[in-house]
Structure 1
Amino acid sequence: MPVFWRVVYWTSQCLTWLLLPFMQSYARSGGFSITGKIKTALIENAIYYGTYLLIFGSLLIYVAVHPEWHLSWYELQTIGITAANTWGLFLLVLLLGYGLVEIPRSYWNASRHGHLLMKTYFKASKLMTEKADAEENLEDVMEEVRKVSESIKYNHPLRKCIDTILRKCPVDYQEKMGRNMDDYEDFDDKQNTYPTEKSLVKLHKQVIYVVQRHNRTRVQWQILLQQAIHLEDVAKNETSLSHQFVHSFPLCEPAGWFRRYIYTPTVEWYWECLLKPWFYRLLSVVLTLFSVAVVWSECTFFSTRPVLSLFAVFIQLAERDYNYLYIEMACFITIFFLCTCVYSTVFRIRVFNYYYLASHHQTDAYSLQFSGMLFCRLTPPLCLNFLGLIHMDSAISHQQKLQTAYTSIMGSMRVLSFIANGFYIYYPMLIVILCIATYFSLGTRCLNLLGFQQFMDDSEMTSDLIDEGKELIRRERRKRQRMEDGENRRRRALHSSCWTSLGVHVGLFISWFFEIRRQSLKRSLYINSLHLPLRAAVI
C-alpha cells in the first residue's frame, strides 16, 4: 500500500504542478505548429513556476537555518508534501464550506417549482445577453478574418496559416469567404501592408475562443429553453384532474419503449407533480444532517479525550466489534459526501468566461484541464482531513497507533510543527464562518453590489431580469408553436395526400377491372355472333 500511494500521490502532483499548467497554455495557444505552441506555453508558465519555486525555497531556507533540524531527502520530501497539502487544505475549506450549505439548499429549492421557474427565467435573461454578446464578437472577429484572408493570396507564405484559421471558422462563414476569393494574384506587385505571423497567432487564438463561446451559448440556450418549457408544463399539470401529464410540444419529446410502457403520462404526472418535490425535500433533510455532522466534526476532531468527532465515534464503535464491513461503508459514504460537496463547488465556479465548466460537451480544453488540476490538488488534503476526522492521523490525534499507509508517506508533517500543530488543526474551524456566510448569501449580495447580477428573491434587479426572461421564453414558445403547427399541417397534408393517392390508385384499379370485364364481354359477344351462322348451317 505505501508503494501504491507513492505512485498515485507523486503522479497526481506531477500532473497538477508541472504537466497540466503546461498543457493549459499549450491548448490555449494560437500557434500554428507544435514548436510554436510549446514555446508559448514555456513563456507563459515561467512566472507560474517561478512563484512556486520561491515559496518552496522560502520553506527550504526556514528549515535549513533551524538549529534542531538536519535536512535529509526524507525531510525534504515531507516539506514538499506539506507545502502542497497546505495550499490544498486552504482551497478545501473554502470549497467545502460553500458545498455543505449549498447542496442541501439546492435540493430544497428544486422541490419548489415556482422558485425554480423564476430562477430559470433569470438564467434565460442573462444567457440571452451573453448569447447576443457572443454573436457580436463572432461577427467582429469573422470580419477581421475576412479582411486578412482577402489581403493574403494563395501564393503568400502565410497562406497556410490563413487556411488553418478558416478551418476553425463556422461553415457558413467559410462558404462566404470562399466565394469572395480570387483564383490567383501575385502579392509582390501590390504595396499592401501584410499582417505578421505574430498577429495571425493572436487572431487564431481569438477565433478559437469566439467560436467555442458562440457554440456554447447556442447549445445552452436550447437546453435552458427546454428546461423552462418543461417547468411551465409542470406548473400547468399540477392542477390537472385527469392525472395525465400533457406536454406543450409532444413532437419534441423523445419517443421510445421506456416512455411507451413504463414512464407513461400517468406515471410522469405522479412523479413530476407529486413525488419528486417530496423526494427532494427528504433528500435535502438527510444532506443537511450530514452537513451538520461534518461541521461539528471539523471543529472538534482534535479532541481525543473525550472523542467529540461524530465520525471518529462511529468508526471506534465499529472497531470494538471488528465490524469491518460497517467501517468500509461508513468511510465510503463519508468520503463520497465530502467529495460531492467539494467537487460540485468546483463545477459551479465561474471566473467570467476565462474558466467555466459547461454541460453537454461545451467546456473548452483550458477549463477541463484547470478542473483536473484542482482535483489533483484537493484530493490529497481531503484524504488527510478525513483521516483526521476519524482520528487515524497520529500527528493530529496524538495517539500511539499504527499509522495508515497514506499518513506514512506524508511524513506526519512533524518536520514543520507550526503547520502540523497549528494550521492543520485550527484552520478547518473557519468552515463555520464560511457556512454562515453561504447560508445568508453574503457572496451573492456582494456580487450584486458590484454589478454582477445574481439570482435573489428580494432584489429589484432580479425581478426585472425575471420579467425579461419570461418574455423571452414566451417569445420562443410562440416560435416553437408555429413550427409545430406547420409540422402538423405538413403531416396532415402528407396523410391526406397518401389517402388521396390510395383512393386514386383504388379508383384506377376498379376502372381497369371493369374495363377488362367490358372488353371481355364484347369479345365474347363478337365470337358468339360469328358462331351463330355456323350453328344454323349445321342445324
Structure 2
Amino acid sequence: MDISSASSTGSNIFAITSLLTISLLVLLLLRHYLPLRTTPSYLLIPVFLALALPSSIILLVPIDLASATSSTTNNPNRGVWLPEKVVLVTWRITYWLTFCLTWFILPLLGEYVDSGYRDGRSRMIYSLRSNARYQLMYLGAGVAGLVYFILSNGVHTTSVKGLVMALAYAWGLFLAIGLMGHGLVALPRRLYKNANVSVRLRRLQTQAPATKDKLDEATSEFEELENTVWQLKQRKNGTSTALQEWIDELADTTAVPDRRPGVAAAIRATNTGIPAVVTERYLADLTRKLKRARHKKARFVDEWSHLCQHALNTQTILDSATTKKLEFASSASGQNSWLRLTPALRYQLYMNIIPSARIGASILLAAASLMVIFSEIVKSFAPSISVIGLTIVHHPNSSGSKVGFAGQMIAAAWLLYMDTCALYAISDVKVWGNRALVKRQTYAESACWYSLQVAKLTVPLSFNFITMLPPSVYKETAFYQFLGKLINLTPLGQGFSAFFPCFLLLPVLASLFNVYGKLKKVIGFGVLEDESEANVSGFGTGGWREGKALIERELLSRGEGLTSRGGTSLDLERRVGGSATGSSTPPIAGRGRAAQRDPLLPTHVQDANRQFNSITNREEVVEEDDGPRHFYHDFAERVKNTIDAPDRPEWVRAVGSALTTTPKWMLNEQQTDQSSGGGSVFSRWFGGRAEDGRVRL
C-alpha cells in the first residue's frame, strides 16, 4: 500500500482513543471483581493483558478489513484504516502475546497462586508439576501433527510454526464453536424468560433450595477446615519453628471456633484426618483447601444474597400492580439512585418498558443467532449468500476499500455478539468446578482461568468470523496473511477450518431441545443447569414452594420484608418491637418450636414459619397436631373453619344439626333417656359420671 501516512492521522487518533477506552473498561472490570490495591502486580498485569488484548481484536479486525485495499493511491478509504505494516505488526504482537498467556503464563500462574506453599520456589515447583500432565498431553498431539506436517511440506521452520498455530487454533475453535452454539440459544431464551416478572420470580424461587444447600455445604466445609487449623495450633509444639509460624499464620486468618463445653471434643472425635507427624506438604494441602473453601463460601454467600435481593425486588414489582406505584426497599434503592423517577414512572419502567425491551432484544438476538448459524453453514460452499458477509461488505465491486465505516461498525457488532455468546455459555455451563467470579472477592486462580478462556476463544472466533466474508475480502487482510496461510498449509487444516464450524448445529440443537436436561435424567447428573421446573408442585426438596419459604426466612433474618401479592409484609422489625427472629436456617429443636408458638409473633409470621416447616417436611410440634403438615392439611382446616364460623346462617346450622343428630327410633331406651336429659330414676341416681369427673355412688 502506497498511501501517505498523513492521510491516516484521523484513523490513528480514533484507534488510539478506542484502545485507551478498552483498557479503561478492562480496569473497571478488574476493579469490580478484584481488589486492585491488595492484588499483586505479577497477577494483575497478566490478567489485564489477557483481557485487553482479546478485546482489542474486536477493534483490530474491522480496521484490518478496511485496510485491505489495492496498492494504488487513488483508491478511497471509506473507514478507519492503518498502514499495512502497522496492521501486520499489531497482529503479530497481539497474537503471540495472547498465545503465550494462554498456553504458558496463565496456566502456570493459576497453579502458582493456588499452590498453598509459602515460598516462591516451592510454589513454582508445584505449578510446573501440576502443568506437566497438561502440557504432555499437547506434546503428544504435537508430535503426531509434526510428523504429518513434515510429510506434507518437508522439514523447515514454516512447518513447525504452522503446526503450533494450527493446533492452538483447532483446540480453541473446538471449544469456541461448542460454547458459542449453546450461547446463541441460551442468551435470547434467558432474555425472553426474564421478561415476565412472575416467571422470573418463580425461577428464582426454584433455584433457591439448591443455592441454599450449596451455601450450607460450603459453610460446613469451611468451618471444618478452620477447626482443623485450631487443632493444629494446639499441637504445634512438636513441629519445627517454620511450621509453627505457618500454623500461626493460618490461625490468624480463621475465626475462633466454638468454645462451648463439649464442642471441641466432638470436633476432635469427628476430625481424624490430622496425621501424627505434620509435614510441609500436609500444611500446603491444608492451606490450599482452606483458600478454596473460603472462596467457595464467599461465592455462594454472594449468590444467595443476590438471589434473595433479586426475589425481593421482583416481588415488590408484582405487588405494585395494585397501586401502580413502585418503591423499592432501602437496601435496593441504590440500584436506581442515578435515575430520579417518581413511583408511578418507576412502575411503568419496571412493569412495562423493561419487559417489552427484553422481549424485543430476545427477538432481535434470536434473529441474529439464526443469521450466524446460516452464515456458518453456507460459508464453505456458498460464501456469496452469507448474511454476515452481505451486511458488512457494502462495496463488493469497488477497486478501493470494500468495507466502509458502517461495515466496520456492523463487523464489530457481529464479532462482539459471537464472543458474548461464547463467554455467556461459560457462566451457564456448570462443569468448571469451584471457579466463579465474585464481586471484590474473586479467587486468584479463578481470575487466571477466566482470563485464559477469554484469550483462548477470541482469536479462533475472530478468524472464523472473517472466513464468513467473501474470499476476495478476507484473503486480502493481514490477519489471513499472518494466520490463515499457516492454518491452511495442509489439506487437513484447510478442511477443518472450512467445514468444522458446520458442527455448530450440534450444540444449538442440544440447547434448543433441552438434550442436557434429558441426559441428566438418564445418567443422573447434568452438564448444564436444567432450568425446567421439573418439580412444579413444590413438594419435597427443590420445589419453588420450599424456595419461597427459604427466601422469606432469609429476608426476615435481615429485617427486610418480602411482601406477598396481598400486600402484607413479613417484616418483624416494623410490626413487632425488637429485632427480627427469623433465620436463614431451620430453627434448632425446642427453641424454634417455642418461637413458632410465640403469641407475640404476628399471625402472618407464624403462617410463614409453619409453611416453611410443612414444605421442607419438618415436623411442627404443636399441641393439637404433631405430624407433618402439607398444603392439603391447611386447605382442610380453612374449609372447616369456614363452615364452623360463628356467623354462619341459621339454615346452615339447622341442616348441620339435622345431619349430625341420630333419630330417636334408632336409639335404645337408655340412649333416649340420656338424650332427652331424663332417664329412669335408677340411672339418674346411680348411673354415669358427673361433669367434673367424679363418680356418683
For the criterion TM > 0.5, the same-fold answer is yes
Matched, 1:416 2:490: yes
Contact 2:112/2:123 (<8 A) preserved: yes
* Counterpart for residue 161 of structure 2: 77
- Match 2:327 to one of 246, 266, 282: 246
- Aligned residue for 2:385, secondary structure, equals coil
- Residues 7-65 of structure 1 deviation map (CA, whole Å, 9 limit, x = unaligned): 11011111111111111111111112111111111111111111111111111112223
Matched, 1:2 2:88: yes
* Counterpart for residue 689 of structure 2: none
Superposition map of 1:310-329 within 5 A = 310-320=387-397, 324-329=404-409
C-alpha deviation, 1:154, in angstroms: 9.9
Contact 1:225/1:473 (<8 A) preserved: yes
- Residues 103-147 of structure 1 deviation map (CA, whole Å, 9 limit, x = unaligned): 111110010122211211122111110111112112221221111
Structure 1 residues 402, 91: CA separation in 2 closer, same or farther (over 3 Å shift)?
Answer: closer
* Counterpart for residue 162 of structure 1: 247
* Counterpart for residue 394 of structure 1: none
Superposition map of 1:123-142 within 5 A = 123-142=207-226
Structure 1 residues 268, 385: CA separation in 2 closer, same or farther (over 3 Å shift)?
Answer: same
Q: What is the TM-score with the length of structure 1 in the denominator?
A: 0.79
* Counterpart for residue 298 of structure 2: 215
Paired with 1:362 and 1:135, the residues of 2 have a C-alpha distance of 16
C-alpha deviation, 1:193, in angstroms: 4.1
Paired with 2:474 and 2:347, the residues of 1 have a C-alpha distance of 56
- Residues 181-207 of structure 1 deviation map (CA, whole Å, 9 limit, x = unaligned): xxxxxxxxxxx9441222111111111
Query: Where does structure 2 lack aligned partners over 5 or more consecutive residues?
Result: 1-86, 265-274, 562-570, 579-697
C-alpha deviation, 1:358, in angstroms: 3.2
- Match 2:361 to one of 269, 273, 283: 283
* Counterpart for residue 145 of structure 2: 59
Paired with 2:239 and 2:507, the residues of 1 have a C-alpha distance of 62
Q: Please provide the CA RMSD for this pair.
A: 2.8
* Counterpart for residue 195 of structure 2: 111
* Counterpart for residue 524 of structure 1: none
Contact 1:122/1:462 (<8 A) preserved: no
C-alpha deviation, 1:313, in angstroms: 2.1
C-alpha deviation, 1:173, in angstroms: 4.7
- Aligned residue for 1:360, secondary structure, equals coil
* Counterpart for residue 468 of structure 1: 546
More helix by share: 1
Contact 1:348/1:357 (<8 A) preserved: no
- Aligned residue for 2:395, secondary structure, equals helix
* Counterpart for residue 273 of structure 1: 351
* Counterpart for residue 417 of structure 2: 337
Q: Which amino acid aligns with 1:347?
A: S
* Counterpart for residue 303 of structure 1: 381
Paired with 2:298 and 2:305, the residues of 1 have a C-alpha distance of 11
* Counterpart for residue 278 of structure 2: 195
Matched, 1:346 2:426: yes
* Counterpart for residue 37 of structure 2: none
Structure 1 residues 262, 154: CA separation in 2 closer, same or farther (over 3 Å shift)?
Answer: farther
- Aligned residue for 1:389, secondary structure, equals coil
* Counterpart for residue 503 of structure 2: 430
Paired with 2:253 and 2:338, the residues of 1 have a C-alpha distance of 42
Paired with 2:456 and 2:234, the residues of 1 have a C-alpha distance of 48
Structure 1 residues 261, 403: CA separation in 2 closer, same or farther (over 3 Å shift)?
Answer: closer
- Residues 250-309 of structure 1 deviation map (CA, whole Å, 9 limit, x = unaligned): 3323369x64972331221011111111110011111111011001000001234x7121
Contact 1:27/1:365 (<8 A) preserved: yes
Question: How high is the sequence identity, in percent, across the aligned residues?
Answer: 21
Paired with 1:175 and 1:340, the residues of 2 have a C-alpha distance of 50
Contact 2:299/2:436 (<8 A) preserved: no
Q: Which amino acid aligns with 2:496?
A: F
Contact 1:152/1:194 (<8 A) preserved: no
Contact 1:98/1:434 (<8 A) preserved: yes
Contact 2:299/2:438 (<8 A) preserved: no
Q: Which amino acid aligns with 1:8?
A: T
* Counterpart for residue 314 of structure 2: 231
* Counterpart for residue 515 of structure 1: none
Paired with 1:320 and 1:121, the residues of 2 have a C-alpha distance of 57
Paired with 1:338 and 1:286, the residues of 2 have a C-alpha distance of 14
Paired with 1:230 and 1:486, the residues of 2 have a C-alpha distance of 19
